[in-house]
Amino acid sequence: MKKIYLLIIFLAGVTLSGCSLGGGGTKGEVTGVKAAHGFKASTPLNMVYIKGGTFLMGQTDQDVTFAQTSQVKQVTVPPFFMDETEISNTKYKQFVFWVRDSIAISNYINDQKYYLKPKKGAPADPNGKKYINWDYVDKNPVFSVKGKNAAANAQKLQGLYYQGDDRVFDRNELDVRLLKYNYALFTYREASNYRNDKTKKRSDFILRDTVAVYPDTLVWLNDFSYAANEPLVEGYFSHPAYRNYPVVGVTWRQARAFSVWRTRLSNGYKHSRGQDDILPYELPNDAEFEYAARGGRIGTDYPWGGPYIKNAKGCLLANFKPGRGNYIDDGAAYTVNVRSYFPNDFGLYNMAGNVAEWTASAYDESASTFVHDLSPTFNYEAKASDAEVLKRKVVRGGSWKDIGYFLQNSTRTFEYQDTAKSYIGFRCVTHFPGRDIKDKR
């Protein structure tokens, strides 16, 4: 009898404690977890908002040959933000300099002044991690020839420069082979495919990659036989005259690494001010790029409409290879400023021409027959051991050295993910959280 009495007391205690947990001013009702602050979506800097919609994806009826091999499909794309221009040299250089300074501070200088100090009373990081104080770095540049740290830093940083016979005229030139970015991503598609496999661990779906971030400037010679492009090798990425030209010589993996870094850069700033994260920056997928290129127009050949590549005044509307190869006829022999020509109806520049652009999608000739009609894409995370055919990524938009066919909204081609070209760049997207901005319901 005593045991039963004790059991009743215990059950009553559980019930009472449960009631107290259900209070908190909700009057016993499910009201949801209170948010620390409200959320309001804002358009990231130099991006444009692309309203979600439905369109016919694929070749137009005019292209009879390819219409037989590529299915035209009606698809729907949710709203997203997209860079209004291709990523320029100066923006990509910000990534390169961030990697350079991080390596210099962590591996060579080891000066505590460059790290954040814990706030008074705050516990130390349990993993012993230190975080760079970028405000201090901005005011005291690591590679500056002036300032109180200049002399001491210069001595410590010698290991970052070419050594011995690799030096030219004994100049201190940065050994760009040392500039590598490490990151990790969760591969949700892989996790979904193996969600019922009890032999898999969470770590099996974490992609870890190390990418050399400096562009391959030799592409200006590699891509062309006996072309006098040495001035572009020496100056295209480094000379200030090209700062607002599209970055080239970056592989698909480098473009993805940039998008990961950009996400971390943005969220690091937001965390410091108690704001919510943004959704990750990514490369646009195949459908997003075509939808954005069309600019809301239906059945048109080019981002500006069409079917012609010249306007009423006879001016070419993009940077490409016109006629039999009169490169200069469109205003430039090579690339042009990322804000050249008129934007399309979404406000996006050079969605055709200037440089072709990497997308997130893997390339498969028959992808249109099996991808979903809502936010379609075909992704495959190629391993180093995979066949080369599995390392193809969709490239869109055509470039300064392409003929007009490759500028069409529906034209898709491919390049291998570890290949860098003088005519391929990229831009980023980030998905819009929640419903469409203009949806008032």
- Chain length of the chain: 441
Which of 105, 54, 108, 107 minimizes the C-alpha distance to 77? 54
> Is the peptide bond prior to 307 cis by the omega test (within 30 degrees of 0)?
yes
Contact between 420 and 219 under an 8 Å Cβ cutoff? The reply is: yes
Contact between 296 and 288 under an 8 Å Cβ cutoff? The reply is: no
Which of 392, 189, 383, 411 minimizes the C-alpha distance to 290? 411
For residue 343, the model assigns a pLDDT of 97
Residue 153: enclosing H or E segment and its boundaries? helix 150-156
CB atoms near residue 173 (< 10 Å): 12
**Cα gap 142→148, rounded to integer Å:** 11
Which of 104, 102, 95 minimizes the C-alpha distance to 256? 95
Give Cα separations from 437 to 40, 49, 81, 257, 441 (angstroms).
Answer: 10, 9, 11, 29, 11
> Residue 206: what are its φ and ψ, rounded to 5°?
-100, 115
For residue 434, the model assigns a pLDDT of 74
Q: Is 313 helix (H, G, I), strand (E, B) or coil?
A: coil
Sheet containing 281-282, strands listed edge to edge, beginning at the edge strand earlier in sequence: 47-50, 80-83, 429-431, 281-282
3-state SS of the chain: helix, strand, coil percent to 5? Answer: 30, 15, 55
For residue 60, the model assigns a pLDDT of 65
**Residue 256 in tokens:** 């993805």
- What sign results for the dihedral spanned by CA atoms 343, 346, 348, 354? negative
For residue 119, the model assigns a pLDDT of 79
For residue 263, the model assigns a pLDDT of 97
Contact between 365 and 69 under an 8 Å Cβ cutoff? The reply is: yes
What DSSP character marks residue 87? P
The one-letter code for the residue type at 327 is: Y
Contact between 90 and 173 under an 8 Å Cβ cutoff? The reply is: no
**Cα gap 36→283, rounded to integer Å:** 31
**Cα gap 132→155, rounded to integer Å:** 21
Domains of the chain from N-terminus onward? 48-87+279-436 (3.90.1580.10)
For residue 38, the model assigns a pLDDT of 66
For residue 441, the model assigns a pLDDT of 43
**Cα gap 156→178, rounded to integer Å:** 15
The residue whose two tokens read 């694929």 is: 58
**Residue 104 in tokens:** 């210099």
**Residue 173 in tokens:** 């030139």
> Residue 255: what are its φ and ψ, rounded to 5°?
-65, -40
Residue 184: enclosing H or E segment and its boundaries? strand 180-186
Helices 252-272 and 89-103: crossing angle in degrees, nearest 10, is 70
Task: Say if strands 424-425 and 356-362 run parallel, antiparallel, or are unpaired.
Answer: parallel
One pLDDT digit (tens) per residue for the chain, 441 residues: 444 444 444 444 444 444 455 556 778 899 888 877 667 778 999 999 999 999 999 876 555 555 555 678 999 999 999 999 999 999 999 999 999 999 999 999 988 999 988 877 777 777 878 889 999 999 999 998 787 778 888 889 999 999 999 999 888 899 999 999 999 999 999 999 999 999 999 999 999 999 999 999 999 999 999 999 999 999 999 999 999 999 999 999 999 999 999 999 999 998 888 888 889 999 999 999 999 999 999 989 999 997 899 988 889 999 999 988 999 999 999 999 999 999 999 999 999 999 999 999 999 998 988 999 999 999 999 988 999 999 999 999 999 999 999 999 999 999 999 999 999 999 999 999 876 655 444
For residue 15, the model assigns a pLDDT of 46
CB atoms near residue 416 (< 10 Å): 17
**338 contacts: CB under 8 Å, gap ≥ 6:** 85, 86, 88, 244, 245, 246, 349, 350, 354
